[in-house]
Amino acid sequence: MAVIGIDHIQLAMPAGEENAARAFYDGLLGLKEVAKPPHLAALKYISALNQTSLPPERPTQALSSVTFRQ
């Protein structure tokens, strides 16, 4: 199967830096934050090409990943 694009990106952000992340993703990149289930701490953004989730870092978990579209 050939990869045709990126479907979802998850990038860990420092805990407590939600306002800085919003300033970058909303303000600079122009992405729109979308609603997420209340039990998730991550910020979530969507564009025409992919989704980006920004969960707060946890010292014992690797939270960054990329999911490709086939």
Taking only the tens place, the pLDDT of each residue in 11-22 is: 888 888 999 999
> 62: pLDDT confidence band, cut at 50, 70 and 90?
low
Question: pLDDT averaged over the chain?
Answer: 84
Q: What global pTM score does this model have?
A: 0.72
Closest to 63 (Cα-Cα) out of 7, 25, 10, 9:
10
pLDDT at 23 over 80: yes
Q: Which residues contact 28 (CB under 8 A, 6 or more apart)?
A: none
pLDDT at 61 over 70: no
Contact of 4 with 69, CB cutoff 8 Å:
yes
Domain 5-69 = CATH 3.10.180.10: yes
